């Protein structure tokens, strides 16, 4: 039997009746686009986070793009972010017409090294886009101070951080706007694509509602260009409403899996061998992925695969080294911490309904493989 890094079917088994009822609710509602379920989800997600506004959109990539555009960022503007992220973060910056500028990450938690941001600011810099990667938050206090000092927009990429907190504050509440993805694998996942942008600011929210709806304020009349069709689907919104009520229990489930890995593997940790995830001080980690590190990563993955254990790498190629981003002009070696990590990290299976016996098999097999290296 092959194990999966992620699998939604055990969850579907458990939640089937509720999820199918969500579909039925929308199909029988008489309104299939931007109806009660999208509005309801927007209100409930805003309330969960404690923000004034939430606008549902079609996916996380467009959530990042529209968040930037709603803050007035466009062609010629520079946006400072990291290369150690899911490529869509950077795709979205370019989608808004802006230019991504990269800083390196910390070797400990793989998150944005905020001390490098100030030196990356130029007269064209308009925004900083921290990515709360793997399920924990970037240190926001220095970025908030810097954004205020240089009049920059602060836009959070929360696609991997639903429910994560820093110093008690939820991811998505610490910037001018924040983008979420509800791609099925995410901590709050739909059964298809979905996304949202949240903000405390009334004007930003108004712009977002126009941007996702062809640039229209009301039907058939465009007030803003370029507009998009980036609506959150009504069925996905109703599914997300149901799943939002269980978000805290999904996070608890992920933390239980993380604890079991720590208990089963913690004694093997060494500075030049296996390294397990490090939670930075002040963070409450939600473990979107469980990223470990070992200098002999590729051999370990091969051997585990031979034992029927599939692993993932998030992410094998730093964005700035991809041919599709060669035009940005980053030479190999320009982001050394990011590049070194990409060659050594791998992700163990992680999802709230991961069966304990499967997890124990992963732990036992990894122990054997490491012992035989």
Contact 120, 367 (CB under 8 A): no
The DSSP bridge partners found for residue 180 are: 196
User: Which residue, among 144, 135, 137, 92, has the nearest Cα to 117 in the 3D structure?
Assistant: 144
65, 126, 186, 243: the catalytic one is: 186
Q: Which stretch binds ligand PLP (CB under 6 A): 152-160, 197-205, 232-240, 329-337?
A: 152-160
Minimum distance, C-beta of residue 156 to ligand PLP, in the bound complex (Å):
10
What is the distance between the alpha carbons of residues 265 and 115, in angstroms, rounded to a whole number? 32
User: Which residue, among 213, 194, 201, has the nearest Cα to 56 in the 3D structure?
Assistant: 194
Identity of the residue, 187 or 311, whose beta carbon is nearer to ligand PLP in the bound complex: 187
Other C-beta atoms closer than 10 Å to the C-beta of 27 total: 12
Does residue 181 interact with ligand PLP by CB under 6 A? yes
Does residue 60 interact with ligand PLP by CB under 6 A? yes
Specify burial of residue 109 (Cβ count, 10 A radius: 0-12, 13-18, 19+).
buried
The DSSP bridge partners found for residue 136 are: none
Question: Site for ligand PLP (CB under 6 A): which residue of 86, 138, 171, 291?
Answer: 86
- Count residues near ligand PLP (CB under 6 A): 15
What is the distance between the alpha carbons of residues 280 and 339, in angstroms, rounded to a whole number? 21
Does residue 110 interact with ligand PLP by CB under 6 A? no
Does residue 68 interact with ligand PLP by CB under 6 A? no
Q: Which stretch binds ligand PLP (CB under 6 A): 55-63, 232-240, 243-251, 356-364?
A: 55-63
Asked if 243 is an active-site residue, the reply is no
Backbone angles phi, psi at 351, to 5 degrees: -165, 155
Minimum distance, C-beta of residue 133 to ligand PLP, in the bound complex (Å):
6
Antiparallel, parallel or unpaired: β 283-284 and 165-166: antiparallel
Antiparallel, parallel or unpaired: β 78-82 and 125-128: parallel
Tokens representing 5 are 């890094």
Does residue 195 interact with ligand PLP by CB under 6 A? yes
Q: Which stretch binds ligand PLP (CB under 6 A): 56-64, 144-152, 168-176, 301-309?
A: 56-64
Does residue 131 interact with ligand PLP by CB under 6 A? yes
Question: Site for ligand PLP (CB under 6 A): which residue of 3, 37, 55, 61?
Answer: 61
Just list the catalytic residues: 186
> Contact residues for ligand PLP (CB under 6 A)?
59-61, 85-86, 88-89, 131, 157, 159-160, 181, 183, 193, 195
């Amino acid at each position: 039997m092959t194990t999966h890094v992620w699998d939604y079917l055990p969850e579907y088994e458990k939640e089937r009746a509720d999820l199918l009822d969500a579909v039925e609710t929308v199909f029988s509602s008489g309104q299939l686009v931007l109806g009660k379920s999208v509005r309801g989800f927007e209100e409930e997600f805003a309330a969960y986070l404690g923000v004034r506004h939430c606008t549902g959109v079609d996916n996380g990539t467009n959530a990042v793009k529209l968040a930037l555009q709603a803050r007035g960022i466009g062609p010629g503007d520079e946006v400072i972010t990291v290369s150690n992220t899911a490529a869509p973060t950077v795709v979205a910056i370019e989608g808004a017409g802006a230019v991504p500028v990269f800083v390196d990450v910390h070797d400990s938690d793989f998150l944005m090294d905020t001390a490098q941001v100030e030196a990356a600011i130029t007269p064209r810099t308009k925004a900083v886009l921290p990515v709360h990667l793997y399920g924990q938050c970037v240190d926001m206090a220095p970025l908030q101070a810097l954004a205020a000092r240089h009049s920059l927009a602060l836009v959070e990429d929360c696609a991997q951080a639903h429910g994560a907190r820093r110093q008690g504050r939820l991811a998505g509440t610490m910037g001018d706007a924040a983008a979420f993805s509800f791609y099925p694998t995410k901590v709050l996942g739909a059964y298809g694509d979905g996304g949202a942008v949240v903000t405390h600011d009334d004007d930003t929210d108004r712009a977002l509602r126009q941007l996702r709806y062809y640039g229209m304020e009301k039907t058939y009349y465009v007030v803003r260009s370029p507009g998009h069709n980036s609506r959150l689907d009504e069925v996905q919104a109703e599914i997300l409403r149901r799943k939002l009520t269980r978000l805290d229990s999904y996070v608890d489930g992920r933390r239980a899996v993380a604890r079991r890995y720590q208990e089963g593997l913690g004694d093997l940790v060494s500075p030049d061998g296996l390294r397990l995830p490090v939670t930075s001080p002040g963070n409450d980690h939600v473990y979107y992925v469980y990223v470990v590190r070992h200098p002999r990563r590729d051999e370990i993955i091969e051997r585990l695969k031979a034992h029927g254990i599939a692993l993932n790498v998030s992410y094998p190629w730093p964005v700035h080294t991809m041919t599709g981003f060669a035009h940005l002009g980053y030479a190999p070696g320009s982001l050394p911490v990011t590049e070194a990590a990409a060659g050594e990290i791998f992700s163990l299976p992680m999802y709230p309904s991961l069966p304990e016996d499967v997890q124990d098999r992963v732990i036992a097999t990894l122990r054997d493989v490491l012992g035989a290296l």
